[in-house]
A and B are shown apart, each in its own frame.
Chain A
């Protein structure tokens, strides 16, 4: 396999064979190790020294189901630390099939020019001018690029927010239908892409899969077949996700009183049943949209959906739990059509739905607009696209909004907003928010399954640090594979982990065992923490905002209970 290095300063593309030290790395593990060894930790995230790395998982591009996840890494302009943002779509499968282990974007153009990177069906790359795409939103850019290069291509692109280099800017990737509706949303990596003058990457659909890269094709096939069976037979991935997607969680988390609402002042949204997974699926079906939708290449779960308006016209794809929460719960908006419109706008402008929904909520809490005002929320997002003074504040995330209004209640860690689980109602998720090297990030170690399964009490301190630690280690190695985190629960039994090890060893030619996966996760987390330390982050950054310790959350009226010492012990 090869590395592509794209120097935006000299406008050159070079190919390298993958160095031996990177051979067993992929996805998040590869971006973490490369950033830690190649990016000066104290550099300006938007300067020429930062690198933006696109790395499919080491199983991406193989025949394994659900393996088309791309890790995008850089030093984050939002957190000031290392960042891996993970997205679905088709791009990871394409890069893997083309034998491209990573695309490394370096340097910065002098004159503010805009480029697109074309990778053809042979894996050859070229930089082309993208001046005619300046300022264009992601849906329009993607449509034009697919018209030019063919509808089977994969696209990654930024919108106006990325060009403005705002700290909530996302990188959008195209789904199976060619919509740029899958986001590497977290950490402002769209701003890094914008700083490098890179508007889009267009990747040709590869031809036949190259099995020469496989150490043991027969063993791989056996393991891959077993994994598909585990995923199909699991209740969550085989039944629940296909029926309702992640929106099932709206009922669960509200029922547990842990759905941060009205800028995290309540644990239940009034009218949440109107935006539940049941209501969403019913609305979609009634209008002729699609549930059980194929969004990502090689997905057999199909948690995606295609949300349409009352006239049956496309609005957005994969209206998901976290966005329903950020654009709904946090803002007090219980109108699913407004939430769907906000989801589309965020994707189209190119901002993280979570950081942006929370930024809107902080503005509402500070008195800028009223909670529940959907029209105002839409107008606020449009301000980001127009690049107004307030739009730029909003597009820089909740902390920027908090500073703007001098408002104390900003639910963020290391500058990044929390996700859809309040740390006072799900204490262990608070541990993950505080201690993950990524900033507040539910994908770094989510314990909601343990709470629903009754194996951990979400309201007590006991057991939370250990549970968060174990979840963070597991997801850290999972993010190296290219597998979607939603299938992790189906691959939890010893037998299913054996199958996972079989495909990993067959692909890489290794002899890993169960403990080696833990070692891989610990290594990734260790490298990420090392970078953050060298970048100047300390244990004082591994804390939740004070209001989580001071303001009880109804209905359980709990505060966050985990001590600083316990937080410090999580990953040390």
Chain B
């Protein structure tokens, strides 16, 4: 399945060559989870990157939907 990825803040450092304007597209096997995606991108779980899928925060076991937009975000506490 195909997904779209947008990355912000420190998450960008984990994606070499990331283009902020266009984001990136990725092919993943059907049934992949958020944890699988982070593994695919070599983002260690202890970096605290928050992930949203189609506007909803998604935990590591959530299954990714086909054609989803995934946003990788800084962990934040509020300002």
- Answer yes or no: do A and B interact: yes
Interfacial residues, chain A to chain B (CB-CB below 8 A)? 235-236, 239-240, 243-246, 248-249, 251-252, 255-257, 273, 276-278, 303, 320-322, 442, 446-449, 451-454, 458-459, 486, 488-489, 555-556
- B8 near A248 (CB under 8 angstroms)? yes
- A246 near B79 (CB under 8 angstroms)? yes
- A394 to B52 alpha-carbon distance, docked (Å): 37
Q: Which of A236, A246, A256, A321 contacts B75 (CB 8 A)?
A: A236
Q: Please encode chain B, from 46 to 79, with 1 for each CB lying within 8 Å of some chain A CB and 0 for all others.
A: 0110101001111100000000000101111111
- A486 near B76 (CB under 8 angstroms)? no
- B10 near A240 (CB under 8 angstroms)? yes
Q: A240-B9, A452-B57 are in contact. Are A303 and B79 (CB under 8 A)?
A: yes
Q: Which of A239, A321, A458, A556 contacts B79 (CB 8 A)?
A: A321
Of A240, A246, A255, A446, chain B has the most CB atoms within 10 Å of the CB of A255
Chain B residue nearest in CB terms to A449:
B77
- A243 near B9 (CB under 8 angstroms)? yes
- A249 near B78 (CB under 8 angstroms)? yes
Assess whether B4 is interfacial by the CB under 8 Å rule: no
Q: A240-B10, A243-B10, A448-B78 are in contact. Are A251 and B50 (CB under 8 A)?
A: no
Given the complex, which residues of A lie within 8 Å of B71, measured CB to CB? 251, 255
Smallest distance from the beta carbon of B68 to chain A beta carbons, Å? 13
Assess whether B35 is interfacial by the CB under 8 Å rule: no
- A239 to B48 alpha-carbon distance, docked (Å): 11
Smallest distance from the beta carbon of A275 to chain B beta carbons, Å? 12
- A489 to B77 alpha-carbon distance, docked (Å): 6
Q: Which of A448, A458, A555 contacts B77 (CB 8 A)?
A: A448
14 A–B contacts, CB within 8 A, in A order: A235-B47, A235-B48, A236-B75, A239-B10, A243-B9, A249-B79, A252-B8, A252-B73, A255-B52, A255-B71, A255-B73, A321-B79, A446-B78, A486-B79
Smallest distance from the beta carbon of B18 to chain A beta carbons, Å? 11
- B20 near A453 (CB under 8 angstroms)? no
Given the complex, which residues of B lie within 8 Å of A239, measured CB to CB? 10
Q: Please encode chain B, from 9 to 43, with 1 for each CB lying within 8 Å of some chain A CB and 0 for all others.
A: 11010000000100000000000000000000000
Given the complex, which residues of B lie within 8 Å of A488, measured CB to CB? 77
Given the complex, which residues of B lie within 8 Å of A555, measured CB to CB? 55
Given the complex, which residues of A lie within 8 Å of B58, measured CB to CB? 454
- B75 near A453 (CB under 8 angstroms)? yes
- B55 near A251 (CB under 8 angstroms)? no
Smallest distance from the beta carbon of B72 to chain A beta carbons, Å? 9
- A100 to B29 alpha-carbon distance, docked (Å): 65
- B9 near A248 (CB under 8 angstroms)? yes
Given the complex, which residues of A lie within 8 Å of B77, measured CB to CB? 236, 446, 448-449, 486, 488-489
Q: Which of B8, B55, B59 contacts A277 (CB 8 A)?
A: B8
Of B52, B71, B76, chain A has the most CB atoms within 10 Å of the CB of B76
Given the complex, which residues of B lie within 8 Å of A303, measured CB to CB? 79
Given the complex, which residues of A lie within 8 Å of B55, measured CB to CB? 255-257, 555-556
Chain B residue nearest in CB terms to A246:
B79
Q: Which of A235, A251, A273 contacts B73 (CB 8 A)?
A: A251
- A459 to B54 alpha-carbon distance, docked (Å): 14
Q: Besides A248-B76, A256-B56, 6 other CB < 8 A contacts? A: A236-B74, A243-B9, A252-B74, A273-B20, A278-B9, A448-B76
Chain A residue nearest in CB terms to B9:
A248
- A240 near B75 (CB under 8 angstroms)? yes
Q: A235-B48, A273-B20 are in contact. Are A451 and B57 (CB under 8 A)?
A: yes
Smallest distance from the beta carbon of A135 to chain B beta carbons, Å? 33
- A322 to B55 alpha-carbon distance, docked (Å): 20
